[in-house]
């Protein structure tokens, strides 16, 4: 049940309003934020304020208390510059599965300055350099930690080349850790298992990436990564939906610089071809064939060579797939 604050009363509305205007004119940092998503149930005003000094959400116009006992999740200290913020901050970065120690260990700062921001002498700089070196060695003293460091470097390199988001790297690192704990992939190369974990993360998160794309940025073949992935799926009992041809349409159309009209037409072709035996083919080949047909229909023709390059397929695959699709859908294509 909303209640009235002590500062607001029906006898002195002008005083209440004037008092809130003064607080709006001189807000205190980290104490009051204007709420714009809700409205006051009494005066329908959207000028709601969070007053952390009293732990209340109050209407700035009529003074109605909409919520009390709110919690300020910010720090209890105030900093006026970056130096004070670095000195007062006690929390580090969040945990990350992509780091060998999950980011829980500390490290010596690479900046050659002391706590007060003063430059460190050359003699002490050489000492700090040796301390940093031995700290890095100590953090990777165990074989399991060195294993994780190598795997994370491989994942980061492949993910960067494929322009994968950060969440995919986190998911891949989590899958890799589970696979190592199961000890079902012992004897296989670390980088190979890392690539298989990255592909598994893409499958789980619905990111359309093929084994061919991953193997291109690794020193292992598509066949080797595929075998490792199959063993990983059985060992971890993973369940992921196979990629759909529609998932590849935006990426291929973007590479070919086609308009959204072509992408929509290609999506309609794939939807019409769902009930034919052609759908048993590789999903990306179906997407490429649908894009090739749609580009011709919408007078934005692209060469088979360009479509094959954008989809990372051969021209023979594009030619055979689009002919089969056109035959089943009764579409006349004049090349």
Instruction: Quote the CA–CA distance of 202 and 181 in Å, as a whole number.
Output: 21
Instruction: Quote the CA–CA distance of 271 and 294 in Å, as a whole number.
Output: 13
pLDDT at 1 over 90: no
At residue 11 the predicted structure's pLDDT band, cuts being 50, 70 and 90, is very low
Q: What pLDDT is attached to residue 141?
A: 60
Q: What pLDDT is attached to residue 82?
A: 65
Can you spell out the DSSP letters for 287-312? HHHHHHHHHHHTT----HHHHHHHHT
pLDDT in tens, 303-313: 999 999 999 89
pLDDT at 258 over 80: yes
Binding site listing for Zn(2+):
40, 43, 59, 62
Q: What pLDDT is attached to residue 17?
A: 37
pLDDT in tens, 43-95: 888 788 877 666 778 888 888 888 877 766 666 566 666 666 666 665 656 66
Q: Delineate the domains of the chain, giving CATH numbers in brackets.
A: 3-68 (no CATH), 143-236 (1.10.472.10), 245-328 (1.10.472.10)
Helix (H) or strand (E) holding 16: helix 13-25
Higher-scoring residue by pLDDT: 98, 323: 323
pLDDT at 138 over 60: yes
Crossing angle of helices 283-297 and 260-272, in 10° steps, is: 120
Higher-scoring residue by pLDDT: 164, 87: 164
Q: What pLDDT is attached to residue 204?
A: 87
pLDDT in tens, 239-253: 877 788 888 999 899
Least Cα distance to 263 among 276, 274, 271, 252 occurs for 252
Binding site listing:
40, 43, 59, 62
Q: What pLDDT is attached to residue 7?
A: 46
Cα-based distances in Å from 226 to 177, 222, 231, 318, 326 = 19, 6, 9, 23, 31
In angstroms, the first-to-last Cα distance of the chain is: 73
In sequence order, what are the residues at sequence separation of 6 or more whose Cβ sits closer than 8 angstroms to the Cβ of residue 103?
92, 93, 94, 95, 96
């Amino acid at each position: 049940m909303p209640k009235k604050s002590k500062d607001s009363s029906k006898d002195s509305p002008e005083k209440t309003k004037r008092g809130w205007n003064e607080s709006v004119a001189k807000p205190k940092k980290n104490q009051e934020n204007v709420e714009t998503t809700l409205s006051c149930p009494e005066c329908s005003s959207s000028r709601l304020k969070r007053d952390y000094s009293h732990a209340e959400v109050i209407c700035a116009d009529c003074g109605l208390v909409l919520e009390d006992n709110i919690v300020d999740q910010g720090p209890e200290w105030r900093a006026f510059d970056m130096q004070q913020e670095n000195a007062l901050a006690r929390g580090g970065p969040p945990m990350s599965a992509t780091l060998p120690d999950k980011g829980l260990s500390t490290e010596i700062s690479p900046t050659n300055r002391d706590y007060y921001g003063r430059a460190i002498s050359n003699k002490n700089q050489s000492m700090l350099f040796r301390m940093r070196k031995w700290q890095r060695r100590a953090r990777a003293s165990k074989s399991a930690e060195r294993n994780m460091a190598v795997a994370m470097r491989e994942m980061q390199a492949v993910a960067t080349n494929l322009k994968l988001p950060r969440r995919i790297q986190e998911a891949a690192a989590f899958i890799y850790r589970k696979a190592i704990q199961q000890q079902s992939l012992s004897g296989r190369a670390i980088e190979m298992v890392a690539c298989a974990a990255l592909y598994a993360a893409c499958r789980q998160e619905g990111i359309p990436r093929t084994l061919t794309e991953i193997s291109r940025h690794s020193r292992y073949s598509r066949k080797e990564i595929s075998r490792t992935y199959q063993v990983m799926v059985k060992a971890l009992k993973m369940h992921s939906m196979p990629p759909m041809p529609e998932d590849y349409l935006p990426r291929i159309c973007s590479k070919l610089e086609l308009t959204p009209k072509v992408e929509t037409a290609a999506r309609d072709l794939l939807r019409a071809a769902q009930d034919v035996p052609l759908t048993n083919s590789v999903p990306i080949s179906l997407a490429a064939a649908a894009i090739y047909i749609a580009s011709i229909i919408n007078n934005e023709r692209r060469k088979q060579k360009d479509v094959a390059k954008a989809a990372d397929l051969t021209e023979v695959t594009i030619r055979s797939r689009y002919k089969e699709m056109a035959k089943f859908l009764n579409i006349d294509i004049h090349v």
